[in-house]
Homo-oligomer: A and B are copies of this chain.
Amino acid sequence: MGKLKFISDKFLLVKLSVLLGCFAASSAFAKEKPNILVIMSDDAGYSDIGFSGNRLNKANFQTPNLDKLAASGVVFEQGYVSASVCSPSRAGMLTGRYQQRFGHEYNLPVRPEPGDVEEYSGLNVEELTIGDHLKAAGYNTGIIGKWHLGKASQFHPNSRGFDHFYGLLGGSRSYWEGDGQDTDYRRIYRNKTAEKYEGYLTDVLTDEAINFIDQSKEKPFFLFLSHTAVHAPMEAKAEYLKQFSHIKDTQRRTLAAMTLSLDESVGKVMTALKEKNLLDNTLIVFLNDNGGPSDANFSSNLPLVGIKGTLAEGGVRVPFTMSWPGKIKPDTYYDNPISALDILPTALAVASADKQGNKRLDGVNLMPFISGEETSTPHKTLYWKRAGFAAVRDGDFKLIRFPDRPAVLYNIKQDPYESKNLADDNPPIVNKLLKKLFSWENELQTPLFMTHSKWVKQNRERYTKYTNVDKE
């Protein structure tokens, strides 16, 4: 009840200021609070974004705007997401809470099977999103692009803290309008109305993002620009493909062209912010949602091992940067592990926004850590879990637990490429970390929906093929 009243009061304030024609006052309010822009790419490889991973790769994959964004702020050298697949990763980022706390352990079922109940197949309605928190703080909130947090009406972005939605409710679609993209999951909606578009989806989402920024004059904005790039299907613009004719592998060539469109989007949005004189007052976060699925979109996570779906570093450590001119020093590199769970608490801190509700956040405000004001590490322990596979990072050690082989242990500081399994030589550490992990698991809610066996099997096969876990 307290929460509802609080929201009403804020709305009342905003409404009054508009009614009284107090535009000056509104602008002052807008200036007080920074805009917050989160740009997320989908399934990009750690190696395929210039500022992260294998910097030698720059010759092939061009991401000049992302590199410029990164150079203007902080690069998180150990930036983790809370899941190695799309939907739970987004659920964690948007709530600032381990998504398994509210039953979002698995990816959303593609097609309902017995036990999949649409009523529960989405972001638990008892959770608040970053949109809810910032809307209550007077922000204009928008999501443009991929939602992938439930199709039923109770899960619609407009019901989950976002004033504005333009995009798809599902996980991926063709980059072009056309046949077969007209299911509820793939269709493009403007809020609740389906719309056709023209052109290449990455460009369309970019234009929509710029329009949203244009329309956020009265209030500070929070925008989640949630690209489908570079998720399959592998579809690039013909003129961009030409630029990469030197890449012989046609799949890699397509990915490079798709990545260039993604990068161009970042450049266009930054230019728009600059033109509107908003760049200095906008916190921009860029990250990818999980490791690149090398077996699906031919991305590369080198030098990390593992891919999307695995809990090896290549599955959960992602390109992750944050920029805020004047507030974050350029060319900063931050080396302690941080998490996408930290975006929400950081946003609330910079927006001087109160946290709504009484639920525990797992993320922390990163600003004092980035500035060096706080010298401790933001997370002594980080946890991951999906379908019997689980991992814990505790200090420098990381343990991965499997259903089909003994747990493996790595020292990530000494061996970030997870090449040397220390488990056999360190049973006490293995036991300690397994117990920590299980203790965390006992805090979690029963999954509201689950992944079917074939995906669990695929998951396991990806470990065998893409990590150093003992080959068969």
Contact = CB atoms under 8 A, between A and B. Distances in A.
A453 B442 contact: yes
Contacts of A103: 114-115
Nearest to A457: B442
Interface of A: 103, 113-117, 119-120, 124, 126, 388, 390, 401-407, 427, 430-431, 434-435, 437-439, 441-454, 456-457, 460
Given A450-B447, A456-B442, A406 B406 contact: yes
Interface centre among A403, A431, A444, A456 (most CB of B within 10 A): A403
Nearest to A448: B115
A115 B448 CA distance: 5
Contacts of A452: 445-446
20 contacts: A115-B446, A115-B449, A117-B117, A117-B119, A390-B403, A401-B403, A403-B437, A403-B438, A404-B435, A404-B437, A404-B438, A406-B406, A406-B430, A406-B431, A441-B453, A444-B453, A445-B452, A445-B453, A446-B450, A447-B450
Given A443-B453, A452-B446, A453-B446, A405 B115 contact: no
Q: Which 10 residue pairs are nearest across A and B when measured between Cβ atoms?
A: A404-B438, A115-B448, A446-B450, A442-B457, A442-B453, A117-B117, A403-B438, A404-B434, A115-B446, A446-B452
Given A114-B124, A120-B114, A124-B114, A434 B406 contact: yes
Contacts of A439: 404
A437 B406 CA distance: 13
Contacts of A116: 446
Contacts of A407: 406
